[in-house]
Amino acid sequence: MPRAPAIRKWTDDDLAKLRQLFEQDATLLRAAAALRRATGSVQKKAKELGLHFPGTRAVRAGLRASGALTSEK
């Protein structure tokens, strides 16, 4: 029988770190890694707080526009 995923409650420290990462223009993936949480969990909590992390396509487009990312195929 599969085990149910562990659910960790968001602490005040977690919320403060999420806000700090958002203000530092961290990506969703970076914020999730820093908080050791799933990207969906971080995105949901950010939305509840009125924060919006840009999607992967928007991040990549910005990196391409700045020249930091080249598309080599």
pTM for the complete prediction?
Answer: 0.77
pLDDT in tens, 29-52: 999 999 999 999 999 999 999 999
48-72 average pLDDT score? 85
* pLDDT above 80 (res 1): no
Q: Please give the pLDDT value at position 72.
A: 64
CA distance 25 to 59: 11
CA distance 24 to 26: 6
Q: Is residue 65 classed exposed, middle or buried when 0-12, 13-18 and 19+ CB atoms within 10 A define those classes?
A: exposed
* pLDDT above 70 (res 67): yes
Q: Please give the pLDDT value at position 71.
A: 65
CA distance 58 to 37: 22
